[in-house]
Every structure is written in structure tokens, then in C-alpha cells.
Structure 1
Amino acid sequence: MSELQLVKTKDSTEQFSITTTPQEEKEDPYLVKFDGIDDKEDASRLSRLHKWTIVGIISIGSVCVTCISSSVALAMPHIMEHFHVSHEVAVLNISFFILGLGTGGCFLSPISEFHGRRIVYIGGLATMIAFEFLTAFSNNIGGVIFGRFMSGFFGSSYMSVASGSFADLFKANKQAGKDANKELTLAMVLYSVAPFLGPSLGSLISGFINTSLDFRWTFYVFIIWSGVLLLAVILFVPETYEPINLRRKARRLRKATGDDKYYAPIDKLERNLFATVLTSCQRPMLLLFKDNMTALLNLYTGFTLAVVYLFFVAFPYIFSTVYNFSLSEQGLSFLGLVVGMVSTCLISPYFIDKGYVALLKRNNGVGKPEFRFVPLCVGAFIVPAGLFIIAWTSYPHVHWIAPIIGSAVYGSGTILVFNSIFAYTVEAYRLYAASAMATNSFTRSVMSCVFPLFGLQMYKGMGIQWATSLLAFFACILIPIPFLFFKYGETLRSKSPYTWNVD
């Protein structure tokens, strides 16, 4: 009997793959499938231009959502003055958006398994815009913060199903051949830049807006951007999820032939949305509390990204007090992070693959998930190095470019840490990879939510140099983790009920 088999995409989001037995395909003429004949609904057969237009729209959407997360960083002085609230309350506008962004995927991603990608993109983005209006026009700080949380929750639609859409578009078939895998890899590289580029770019844009306009234009600008994106999705992004498109083909055939016997595999699906959402929320928590490897890797990525979000509080303080930067110049101080992250995202895949192949040759062609830790072993030193540069060059007599270079170094280390841990997680937790990644996302979101809340107090109390050094010292404590996992990872995996073991 035909069934929908759960498989993992390149970033380990779950999606269904249609599996049928040869006997069934031969015996059941009413089972609808894509066979190269009259496949109007098959998204993998769209033109190359249309496919890359879709990739571009989804990637830009991810940049927009992550931009919004940090967009209020340089609007906080105005928010504090307008609503008569403390700095801690104003920072909640950053923290709650991040929390929403991290938790929304658990609820929105399963919807795509039953109703397709397009409805998640359009519904998520439209609802996000609605809550952006609440944020922009509310005269109550509680309403603004609630609007920020819900905007992040529904904006996570772009983060939760994007890779599934790319896998749909660049699915290998006779027409696409081997080029499909190459294009999928290129699409994922392009998309992987977006979540890291967005937060830094959001602060940069916010700096220019809040220099000469009312702080509410911080929200208006992103409402306009989101609205243009929604229109682009409606016009240019069709449904790409194969089970849903097969259902549409079955409906078309039933209407054209008048025969109601035609059906798609998803029509026989016995799962329900509630059970899927429950599983997507429950298993990540079990992984977090019952698997020590997961906990440590989550701590590493959580700390690394949380420091990035702490910078949205720390950088305005550093560059305004030490270098007397204006708001727009404070926004430009995030260019170092942008350059470091984007350049490493684009360059590192080549060197990472090269290092992995070298380790494969040394191990007689037998791969191990631990080989993925090589970039992390490098990034483990780069992350604290970048923090120490920021810490001990932030003096009036040292040129302002020095701490910005330090932030670029830190940004580069961040990408190496994330790429390595994500690749290891997908390979080591094969069966539970989606849950492991959801756990990682949740941990990162909680830590990134908390760090900005105490960042300014820490910098004022300890001083710029020692506050940043404290972060660097903690990063140094984490250095042994990749080396220990590289050496003993296989043994640790054999004791875990969740990881995949080569034996």
C-alpha cells in the first residue's frame, strides 16, 4: 500500500516522501503520481528562472524576519522616552520577538505537512504583518511587546519550511539530473546567509531611521517590506510540496474524467495535525533533558548566538560612550559582524568539504559524524579571539575600526560553530534530526532572549573591557568540547538512545 514516509531535508526539517511498491503502482491505476505525463502540478519541473525567483523571495523573506528581530535596538532610547519605561522593559521588544521566532516553528512547520508550504508562507506572513501593525500603532507598551512576540511567532514560518521548499524545487529527476543536487546545495548556501545577515542588518537600518525620523518608522519600514514580500509570495511562489500537488492532480483528474476513484497517497494519510504538533513539541524536550551531547552542543550554539544579540545592546553603549558615535554611526558599527558572517558563509563550505574529504581518505573512505567537528575546532578559538579583540581595543586612543574588526572575527567564528554543529546534528541524529534541530533552535532562542536583558547592566557595572572579557573567558571554557567529542564522540553516541551509530 502507498504511504507517506517521513524524511529529513538538508536542514532536517521533516517532510513526507511518497513511497509506493512496484506491485501497487502496476495494480492500482487510480493511484496518482508524477510520471512525466501531464504533470502540471509538479514544482520540480518549473523553469530554472522561476525556481531561483522562489529561492530569492524566500531568502529575502528570512532576511526581513531576522532584521525585524533586532530593528528596535537603536529605537530603544525613543521607546523609553515615549512610553516612560525603563531600559529593561524596552529590551523586552527584542527578547520576546526572539522567543516567538524560536517557538513558532514547532507549531507552524507541521501545518505544511497537511496543507502545504504556500499556506504557511502566506498565512504566517499575513498574520505577522497584522501584529506588526499592532506594534506600530499601539499606545501601550504591553501591546507593543505582545505584537513583537506574535510577529516573531508567525514570522518563523520562513525559518521552518524554507529548506523543504528548496528540496521540493530541486528534486532529482530525469529532467534535472545531477544538476539538481548542485542547485539545492547552492540554494541552501544562499539561504544559510540570511538568518545571520538579518540581525546585524536590522540594527544598521534602525540606526539610519532613528537618526532623522520618528521611532515608529522603524516599524513602518518593515511593514512595507513585509507587505511587498507578501505580494511577491502570492504572485510568484506556487505550492511546491509534492503530496499536496499530487492531491491537486487527483482532484483535476476526477473533475476531468468524472471518475471519483483517482486518489493521491496523502488522501490515505491516517495522521492528524494535533498529534503531529504534539510530537514536534514533545520530542525536542526529551532530547534536551535526556541526551548530554545535545545539551552541550545546544549550550555552545546558544551562547554563541546569544552574544550576537547581546551586541545589539552592547555596541550602541560601546560606540556611543567610547567613540561618541551618532545613532546612524552606531548602526554602521554592525558592519563588522555582517562582513565576517557573510564572507565566512560564502567561503567556508569549500574548505569544510575539503577537510571532510581528507579525513575520509585517512579513514579508508568510512565517514563519521565526528569529522564534522573540524570547523568547530577552528571556530572554538576564533570566537574568544574576536571577543578579546573587542574588549581590549575599545579605548578612545585606539581607532574605532579595531573593535569592528574584532566583531568581524567573532562573526566568522560564529558561522564556523553553527555550520559544524548543524552538520554533525543532522548526521549523528539521523532518525531524530528534526527534533534535535528543534531543540537547538529552542535553546538558542531562550538564551538569545535572556542575554540582552542583563547586557547593559553588565557593561555598566563591569566596564566594557571586563564585561566582554567575561564572555571571552566563558567561550574559552567551551574550547575543549569539540576536541573531546572528536575523540570520544563515537563512544558517547553508542550510549545515546537517540543518535545513530555506525555499528
Structure 2
Amino acid sequence: MSSLNDFDVNNFAEKNTSEQEIINSMDDKATDTSSRNEIDNSISDKDSLSSFEVKFDNESEIPDPEDIKRILPIYRKYIIGMVITLTSMVITIISSCWTLISDRIMDHFHISHEVSVLGISFYIFGLGVGPLFLSPLSELYGRRKTFIISLFFSIVWQCLVIWSKTIEGVMFGRFLSGFFGSAFLSVAGGLFTDIFEKKNIGIPITIYTTSPMLGPALGPIISGALHGTNYKWTFITMLLASGLSFICVILLVPETYEPVLLIEKAKRLRKETGDERFFAPMELQRRDTNLLNSIANSARGPFGLLIRDPMMATLCFYTGLVLAIVYLFFVAFPYIFETIYEFGAVEVGCAYVGLLVGILLASPTSFIIQKHYEKKVADNNGISTPEMRFEALYYGAFLTPIGLMIFCWTCYRKVHWIGPIIGSSIFGSGVFYVFTGVFSYTVDGYRKFSATAMACNSFVRSTMSAVFPLFGLQMYKGMGVNWAGFLIACITTAMIPVPFLFEKYGAKLRAKSPYAWDDN
């Protein structure tokens, strides 16, 4: 099969003068007829070269065999989406399964509670840092390779967590397993934009949105159920789940990134025609790109979004805040339910069912939200805007503080334990709507830079989620369960105006962003 070095792009480069060189020489040769002819010939050759650049013919009734978006049936697209969603869920379950085996780890390694909490924080911090390096790889070598390589190394470092004889090894393994597993929390957003049309992406991205929330809610339930065994069995269980996910990704997830798929088309055309001049732009980019420099340069993209796009920065903070509260619960729930209601480890694990139920109850409403979105587009003469995706965020803006208020002011011995569980369930629904609104807006408004935008979001929310558990227990002990919870509820109340302000001023803010993308 032909490779990048096979086609004759270099011959063009040797024969032709670059455009910039032509412009620079025009002043000296403006009166020279032969020079003018040379310029015309160079431009003609450059146009000839561009005519061999491979693209997908979206107007043709018969799609190219490499054009995944057009040739895959809808059920295959949903299978791919479900594999990525379930793998993302496994990755996030690993983050929180530490919660109820923390006491076993403390006894085994003779460490304090503060040190043990780092097992959660290091993993989550890895989830935040990883996308800064893995997302650029996906935009250079494709989604499939990035998923397979990153999940493989995540599994390798999970083995270190299980069988390390020192707490330092365990913490190092936690960080790196989270680092490599993070591809499924950032690159995955790009995969959904790769295979689904803009008008159809609402439902799939909503299903995917459940993974960053269902996973953390399931982790304590699993670790609570295995609390009576050696702490390693919790991690072994997750290792087996990761291995199964790895097999599913290899068998069921094809390459979906269009620039990489165009390379396959270019190779096919070179083989079929025998003409080595056919090329894909990504082939040139790979040839001229130093991998380490590319990663370093691309890692600046998420920070550029945070600094130069205030709308994205605010939305990242919003998802970071609600997810940080979820992870705060992983140190708060054991303290609250053991102190007030005298729950055991298994019962504390079951207390997280409230979050799980809230998310699951809210999920089916995504179909209604998608219908509302389609109606808005129809009412706007068929023209869609990313701000039309904010409906879910309206519900989340109100449900998160309402749920937290119920939770904090029902945590009394004289009030049945179902009270705070109901509050956490309402909060879970609010978290679902916040993530749905922000994720849908992000993949719609930043389509060309969707992987970078999702990496930005992952970095912010994971960093905040890593920090909150470090001070959570001290805050609940110092302020008291009720007032500590009330403080958090007040912070989420202050975020209520955000979606309404962005609905009104979003288009203007996007127009000023160097990263926003609009198909219209």
C-alpha cells in the first residue's frame, strides 16, 4: 500500500516557487515578461497540486467507502456511541470506587484520612490533565488509535494500583490510570460529532452525558458491596470491566475522524489509479509535524479557550462546580450518614442510590428536549444556533440548588434518612441537566475544535473535583453538616442567571471567540 513518501508532493515543491517567494520577487521582476510567465506557470502548478487533494464528495448519491458518517447505519452509530459511553462510565466508576474501601487502605498502609483522600484526588486530577495531551493525538492520528492506546495504558497502571506494595506506588498508579483513561471523557465528544449529523446529535450526546455522573454514583455502591473483602477485589473488579471495554473498543469502534479517513481514501485512489499525486491534507501535516512539538502546541488550546473565551470559561466552571460537589459527597456521605443515622459501610453505599435515581429519572426527558430543539430550529426557518441547546441548563440551574437545600436542611436525627436521599436525587437530576446543556452546546458551538473544547471542560471540572474532597470533611466538621451544605447550595444559587444571560448574549460572545464554529 502506498505511503506518504510514495506520492509526488515533494516533486511539486522542488519544481515550483512558493507563493510567498513569488510575491517577494514581483517588485524586482515586474517589468520582466519571462518572470510574469514564470509566475503564471507557478500558480497554475499550485492549482494543479490542489486538484489532487482528496475530499469527500458530500453531493454524490453514492458515498465514499471511507465516509463513515454517511455509510454507517444509524444502529451502528448508536452501538459505537454506547461502547464509548459505557467505557467512560467504567473510567469514572474507578474514580469513586475508592470511597468506601478507604478505611481498609488506611489500615493496610497505615496512613491518615488526609493521605487516603489523595487516592480520589490524584485519579481525578489525572482525568483533567490527560486530555491536554491525548486530545491533540486524536486530532493527528485519529480517535480509534487514541482510544485503544490510552485504555491499554490505563489498564496497565490499574495493575500497579492493585499489586503495589507501597502507598506511593498506589497513588502513582491512580494518577496515571486516570491520565490515560481521560481520553474517554474528552476525545469521545469529537467522536460523536464525527459520526452524527448536527441535527441528530442531541440524543446521542445526552446518553453519553450520563457517564460522568452515573459512574461516580455507582462507584461507592460497588465498593460498599465488596467492603467485607480485601480492598484489592474492588480494583480487580474494575480491571476486569476495563479489559472487557478494551475488547469492545477494538472490535466495535472504527476510525471516525474525517482527516484520517481521507488518508485511507488517498491511499485507495493512488492504488486504483497508479497516480501518486493524490494526497490527504493530514498526510502533509504528519510529515511536517514533530509529535512532541505538536502535543506541546496543542496543549495550549484549552488554556486559550479559558483565557480568550469567557463564555466557555464560565460553562467549564459551572460543570466543574456541580461535579466537584458530587465528588465532595464521597467524603461527606460517609461522615453524614455514619454520624447522624449510624449507617454501616454497605448502607452508606446504598445512600448514593439517590444520585443514581435522579440521573436515571431525568435521562428520558432528553427526548422531549430534543423535540423542543427541533421545533426551535423549524421556527427559525431551519437555522439552528448553539444557544438553542441551553434548555436543559435552565432546568439544571434551578434543580441543583433546590436539591442541595433539601439535602442540607433534612440532615437531622429526627428527620427520616429518606429526606436527604430525596434531596440528593433532585440534585442528581440537576447535575444531569447541567451537563446535558453544556456538553450539547460545546459540541455544537465548537464543532471544529470539539476535542479541544471538551479537553478544556474536562481539565477544569476534574481539577475542581480533585480539590473539593481535600477540604470537604474538614468543612463539614467545622461548619456543621447543615451550614456547610447551605454554603454550597448558595454558590449554586448564584449560578442560576448564567443560562439566561448566555441565551441573550451568547451569539455576540461566540462572534468574538476565535474557537467557535458555526456551520451556517
TM, length-normalised to structure 2: 0.79
Structure 1 residue 318 corresponds to structure 2 residue 336: yes
Residue equivalent to 2:171: 145
Does 1:306 pair with 2:332?
no
CA separation of 1:164/1:335 partners in 2, compared to 1, >3 Å: closer, same or farther?
same
8 Å CA contact 1:32, 1:265 repeated in 2: no
For the structure 1 residues 487 and 78, does the alpha-carbon distance in structure 2 shift closer, same or farther, using more than 3 Å as the test? Answer: same
Q: Spell out, residue by residue over 1:309-341, the C-alpha distance to the aligned partner (whole angstroms, 9 max, x if none).
A: 101111122122222222122111111111212
> 1:276-315 counterparts in 2 under 5 A?
276-315=294-333
List aligned pairs for 1:12-31, cutoff 5 A.
Answer: 28=52
What's the offset of the Cα at 1:208? 0.5
Q: Distance in 2 between matches of 1:491 and 1:168?
A: 27
User: 1:173-192 residue pairs with structure 2 within 5 A?
Assistant: 182=200, 184-192=201-209
For residues 119-158 of structure 1, the aligned pairs below 5 Å read 119-158=145-184
* CA apart distance, 1:266: 2.9
Aligned with residue 392 of structure 1, among 386, 404, 409? 409
| 1:76-117 alpha-carbon deviations (Å, 9 max, x no partner) | 111111111111111111111111111211211222233222
2:213 to 174, 196, 201: 196
* Correspondence 1:85 to 2:102: no
Alignment coverage as a number of residue pairs: 470
Q: Which residue of 1 aligns with 2:92?
A: 66
Find the counterpart in structure 2 of residue 266 from structure 1: 282
Q: Is 1:207 equivalent to 2:224 in the alignment? A: yes
Name the SS of the counterpart of 1:77 in structure 2.
helix
How far residue 413 of structure 1 moved from its aligned partner, in angstroms, is: 1.1
Equivalent in the alignment of 1:221: 237
The structure 2 residue matched to 1:111, chosen from 137, 140, 163, is 137
C-alpha distance after superposition, 1:120-157 (max 9, x if no partner): 12111110011000011111111111111100110012
8 Å Cα contact 1:33-1:264 kept in structure 2: no
State the Cα distance separating 1:75 from its structure 2 match.
1.0
**2: distance between equivalents of 1:429 and 1:42?**
21
Alignment correspondent of 2:470? 453
User: Matched residues in 2 for 1:491 and 1:163: separation?
Assistant: 24
What are the equivalent positions in structure 2 for 1:326-345 lying under 5 Å apart?
Answer: 326-345=344-363
**Which of residues 479, 482, 489 is equivalent to 1:462?**
479
Distance 1:399 1:460 in 2: 21
Decide whether aligned partners of structure 1 residues 493 and 162 sit closer, same or farther in structure 2, where only a CA change above 3 A counts.
Answer: closer
Q: Does the aligned pair in 2 maintain the 1:356–1:372 contact within 8 Å?
A: no
Is contact 2:186-2:451 (8 Å) kept?
no
| 1:393 alignment partner, SS class | coil
CA distance in 1, matches of 2:219, 2:283: 43
Say whether the 8 Å CA contact 2:206–2:440 is kept in structure 1. no
How far apart are residue 439 of structure 1 and its match?
Answer: 2.7
Aligned to 1:14: none
1:406 maps to what in 2? 423
In structure 1, what residue type is equivalent to 2:99?
A
What is the CA–CA distance in structure 1 between the aligned matches of 2:96 and 2:193, rounded to whole Å?
29
Alignment root-mean-square deviation, CA:
3.5
Determine helix, strand or coil for the equivalent of 1:310: helix
Task: Note the alpha carbon deviations across 1:286-325, whole angstroms, 9 max, x for none.
Answer: 3323444443333322211100110111112212222222
Match of 2:263 in 1: 247
Structure 1 range deviating more: 484-493 or 387-396:
484-493
Within the alignment, does 1:348 sit opposite 2:366 as a pair? yes
Identify which of 382, 388, 391 aligns with 2:399.
Answer: 382
**CA shift at 1:502, angstroms?**
12
CA displacement at 1:239 relative to structure 2: 2.9
Q: Which amino acid aligns with 1:391?
A: C
Distance 1:82 1:396, change over 3 A: same
Cα distance change on mapping 1:187 and 1:463 into 2, 3 Å: same
Whole-Å separation in 2 of the counterparts to 1:431 and 1:122: 23
The offset of 1:51, in angstroms, is 4.2
Conserved in 2, the CA contact under 8 Å of 1:101 and 1:154? yes
| CA deviation vs aligned residue, 1:13-49 (integer Å, no higher than 9, x gap) | xxxxxxxxxx979965x95867788966554535665
CA distance in 1, matches of 2:255, 2:386: 34
Q: Hey, what's the Cα distance between the residues in 2 that align with 1:55 and 1:479?
A: 31
**Range 423-432 or range 465-474, more displaced:** 423-432
Structure having the higher Rg: 2
Contact 2:143 2:191 (C-alpha < 8 Å) held by counterparts: yes
Once the two structures are TM-superposed, the CA of residue 384 in structure 1 deviates from its matched residue by 1.2
Cα distance in 1, alignment partners of residues 406 and 312 from structure 2: 30
Match of 1:53 among 58, 62, 79: 79
The superposition leaves residues 262-296 of structure 1 with CA deviations (integer Å, 9 ceiling, x where unpaired) of 54443233652445423432132233234444433
Tell me the secondary structure at the aligned position of residue 409 of structure 2.
Answer: helix
Aligned match for 2:187, one of 161, 186, 192: 161
State the shift of 1:457 in Å.
Answer: 1.1
Structure 1: runs of 5+ lacking an equivalent = 4-22, 172-179
Q: Is the 8 A contact 1:493 1:501 kept in 2?
A: no
Alpha-carbon distance change, 109 to 365 in structure 1, aligned in 2, over 3 angstroms: closer
Mapping 1:24-43, distance limit 5 Å:
28=52, 41-43=66-68
Aligned letter for 1:331? G
Residues 145/268 of structure 1: CA separation in 2 closer, same or farther (3 Å cut): same
Describe the shift of the 1:491–1:265 C-alpha distance in structure 2 as closer, same or farther (beyond 3 A): closer
Q: For the structure 1 residues 374 and 32, does the alpha-carbon distance in structure 2 shift closer, same or farther, using more than 3 Å as the test?
A: closer
Q: Deviations over 1:214-262 (max 9, x none)?
A: 0111111111111122122223333333443443454466567776555
Is the CA contact (8 Å cut-off) linking 2:376 and 2:388 kept in structure 1? no
Moved more, 363-372 or 146-155: 363-372
Q: Given the superposition, is the C-alpha separation of residues 303 and 241 from structure 1 closer, same or farther in structure 2, using an over 3 Å criterion?
A: closer
Task: Give the residue type in structure 1 aligned to 2:184.
Answer: Y
TM-score by length of 1: 0.82
- Matched residues, percent identical? 47
Match of 1:175 in 2: none
Residues 53/348 of structure 1: CA separation in 2 closer, same or farther (3 Å cut) = closer
